[in-house]
Amino acid sequence: MGSKAISKLSDGISQDLFEFAGYDEEEAKRAGYSNYSYWRSTWQVFIKNRVALVLLILMTTVLVFTLIQPYLPNQKLPTKIYIDESTGMQLSNHKPDSEFWFGTNSIGQDIWARIWSGTRTSLLIGLAVGFFEALVGITVGAMWGYIRPLDRPITEVYNVINNVPKTIILILLTYIMRPGLGTMIFAMCMTGWINMARFVRNLIIIIRDREYNLASKCLGTPTRRIITKNLLPYLVSVIMLRMALAIPLAIGYEVFLTYIGLGLPVSIPSLGNLINEGRLLMMAPSLRYQLIFPALVLSIITISFYVMGNVFSDAADPRNHV
């Protein structure tokens, strides 16, 4: 066909060069289809970052390990007091060795077991509080920011809740309920969501009057749809970072509560009270391992969530998806 010289354009057009295409529904769909999926792309960008991936695997491992650790062979109980055979007394402040991997504390409990038990407690607090904060905080915050008639009343409620000192509520709570995990989680949830709500509200106020939202509104898009489809996706990246930080923040808050004497009882190990016990030993270099190990675990968890949060929020921004 190509070898044939064409002297005149119309001459070269022969019927057999064309044929009618039939209507193919599948093909038609494909023309309008891109295989772009928001979450898949986010995931792809996320795992491109090696560090984040490693940390994700690490955190998953830690999480799994804290859950199965008590069932592994040769593990010690976190609250059992070990006795020194030679004196018949508690094996206190025993340095780390092959038997007690992280040593023992002042009354002869195994720090390795206590740390994992404590990590379990603290992660549970962190996850529960973080999840609750996100759920309630985002819902309330979005409504607060977008629905103008609600702005005033919620702002007033916010002002009231935010300004009644948490300590009063915490003391009354521990007075009414017994100190323990449930109380701690409940107390943190009671007081924590409000900041998330305000954070979301501020972001929404900033973008709600942008032109595309006005356009949507003019076109009669229902409020719920504007919030969920126009506003929230825009905020995913920042909200993810905030959530990732909520977990270490909750753990940090637990340390603080322990510091002012409203924490968990020592018989329930948590990273908070492990660190607080260890703090008192800062002045004794040979005993510092009792501070360093729990602080290290806490740091690793915090760093992981922080870095993952940052990378994920970068990845969640569609403009970074290519």
The two three-digit tokens of residue 155, written as one number: 């702002």
From the CB of residue 290, how many other CB atoms can be counted at a distance below 10 Å?
Answer: 26
**In whole angstroms, how close is the CB of 216 to other proteins at the nearest point?**
14
The two three-digit tokens of residue 189, written as one number: 């949830």
Out of 44, 61, 155, 228, which residue is the one contacting other proteins (CB under 8 A)?
155
Out of 124, 127, 205, 232, which residue is the one contacting other proteins (CB under 8 A)?
205
DSSP character string of 29-70? HHHT-----HHHHHHHHHHHSHHHHHHHHHHHHHHHHHHHGG
H/E element holding 258? helix 232-259
Q: Which is nearer to other proteins, 8 or 319 (CB)?
A: 319
Asked whether position 220 contacts other proteins by CB under 8 A, the answer is no
**In whole angstroms, how close is the CB of 310 to other proteins at the nearest point?**
8
Out of 41, 96, 180, 186, which residue is the one contacting other proteins (CB under 8 A)?
180
| Distance (Å, whole) CA 106 – CA 191 | 34
Interacting stretch for other proteins, rule CB under 8 A, among 1-9, 59-67, 170-178, 220-228? 170-178
Cβ contacts of 263 within 8 Å, gap of 6 or more: 179, 184, 254, 255, 257, 270, 272, 273, 276
**In whole angstroms, how close is the CB of 294 to other proteins at the nearest point?**
9
Strand partners, 83: 90
**In whole angstroms, how close is the CB of 197 to other proteins at the nearest point?**
13
Q: Which is nearer to other proteins, 1 or 160 (CB)?
A: 160
Q: Which is nearer to other proteins, 174 or 230 (CB)?
A: 174
Asked whether position 59 contacts other proteins by CB under 8 A, the answer is no
Give me the 3-42 binding string for other proteins, x by CB under 8 A, dash otherwise: ----------------------------------------
The two three-digit tokens of residue 216, written as one number: 């949507």
Contact in structure between 101 and 157 (CB atoms under 8 Å): no
Contact in structure between 232 and 142 (CB atoms under 8 Å): yes
**In whole angstroms, how close is the CB of 78 to other proteins at the nearest point?**
11
Judged by CB under 8 A, the number of residues near other proteins is 82
As a whole number of angstroms, the longest Cα–Cα distance in the chain is 112
HSE (side-chain half, CA atoms, 13 Å) at 43:
5
Strand partners, 109: 81
Strand partners, 110: 104
Q: Which is nearer to other proteins, 66 or 237 (CB)?
A: 237
Interacting stretch for other proteins, rule CB under 8 A, among 32-40, 59-67, 222-230, 271-279? 271-279
Q: What is the three-class DSSP state of 20?
A: coil
Asked whether position 182 contacts other proteins by CB under 8 A, the answer is no
| Distance (Å, whole) CA 32 – CA 186 | 49
**In whole angstroms, how close is the CB of 302 to other proteins at the nearest point?**
4
Out of 202, 215, 225, 233, which residue is the one contacting other proteins (CB under 8 A)?
202
Task: Please report, as residue ranges, which positions from 90 to 149 form the binding site for other proteins (by CB under 8 A).
Answer: 90, 92-93, 106-107, 109, 148-149
Task: Please report, as residue ranges, which positions from 250 to 269 form the binding site for other proteins (by CB under 8 A).
Answer: 252, 255-256, 259-261, 265-268
